Amino acid sequence: MAGRKIKVGSRDSKLAVAQSQLVMAQIAKAHPELELELITMKTTGDLILDKRLDKIGGKGLFVKELDKALMEGTIDISVHSLKDLPMEIPAELPLVAFSKRENPLDVLVYPKDVSEPDRTLPLGTSSLRRELQVREVYPEWAVESIRGNLQTRLSKLDSGQYGAILLAHAGISRLGLEERISRVFTADEIIPPAGQGIIAVQGRAGEDYTFLEGVNDREAEICAKAERAFVTWLDGGCSSPIGAFAEISGEDILIRGLYYREETETCHRGRIAGKTAQAEQLAVELAKQLKDGK
């Protein structure tokens, strides 16, 4: 592979770039002979900030431009937060690696230098999944939508527009902002979205991606595929109010699931345990149970 140049595509947000640089560092460590170039771009999802994602077409809006660049050969791989990827992945653009998982839980963040939030101000979240669950934790706190990348949301919070906001622990950690975390929700309080905390690398079918062997984490891959199988069976895009979280211990796996029944406006939670070898089948079984109201 000596002399080969790998063009890495990323959204241009600070977090997306940080995640891409993590992947590039892993590639460089395993294959110092490769030349790596980062190519950033702004996506449609980054430009529309006044509406909740499920109202404007879902999180696929964050990948359209990167998918196009991959197909045209402008980039060789693209790097994404797995939770931002649609459930339907084009066969010609497969997911070729899954990073070791960062903390997958959701967190509560107060304004800077505030120890107690002003609950007369809204609690901000960009996700209906988070909104439905956090209303159970804080039933008296008004919840409002907040859009923008992580820096933009923190800026809106610190300027006094919100009493607190919900974010992913992984994003905060990857930008070195752990001191902003005021509360970490357990997976039983707020079930994360499928893939949260995992960085996914997407490529082109038929290409040689053996240079990504040092990036891929087998446990993260098993969890990612199980969680996405749960959501896919329920016919939910990654903007749907559906959550799935798998944890592995040795050869055993525990999968938590959240399903929102729109006709009754109720959330259904459940869990299932078994062997990692049957992870995806277990996820589908849990999805069926929740869909049937069991």
Mean pLDDT, all residues of the chain? 91
DSSP secondary structure string, 66-117?
HHHHHHHTS-SEEEEEGGGS-S---TTS-EEEEPPPPP--EEEEPPTT-SS-
Q: Is residue 278 part of a domain?
A: yes
Q: Which residues are catalytic?
A: 84
Rounded to two decimals, the pTM is: 0.88
Is the residue at 192 inside a domain?
no
Q: Each residue of 39-52: pLDDT tens digit?
A: 999 765 544 444 44
Q: Is the pLDDT of residue 177 over 80?
A: yes
Buried residues in 112-149 as b, exposed as e (16+ CB within 10 A):
eeeeebeeebbbbbbbbbbbbbbbeeeeebebebbbeb
How many angstroms separate the CA atoms of 237 and 260, rounded?
13
Q: Would you tell me the crossing angle of helices 279-291 and 218-233 to the nearest 10 degrees?
A: 30
Same domain, 93 and 1: yes
| Per-residue pLDDT reduced to its tens digit, 245-267 | 999 999 999 999 999 888 788 88
Residue 269: the pLDDT is 95
Residue 28 included in any domain: yes
Determine, yes or no, domain membership for 190. no
What number is the average pLDDT over the span 147-160? 93
Q: What is the DSSP string of 218-266?
A: HHHHHHHHHHHHHHHHTT--TTSSEEEEEEEETTEEEEEEEEEETTTTE
Residues spanned by the domain of 140 = 106-184
Name the token pair of 106: 């959701």
pLDDT in tens, 80-100: 999 989 888 999 999 999 999
Q: Are 284 and 229 in contact (CB under 8 A)?
A: yes
Is residue 215 within 8 Å of residue 201, measured between CB atoms?
yes
Does 191 map to a domain?
no
Domains held by the chain: number = 3
Q: Is residue 225 part of a domain?
A: yes
CATH number (domain holding residue 73):
3.40.190.10
Q: What is the pLDDT of residue 63?
A: 80
Round to whole Å and give the CA distance between 126 and 130.
Answer: 8
CATH code: domain of residue 245: 3.30.160.40
Whether 223 and 294 map to the same domain: the answer is yes
Neighbours of 205 (CB within 10 A): 10
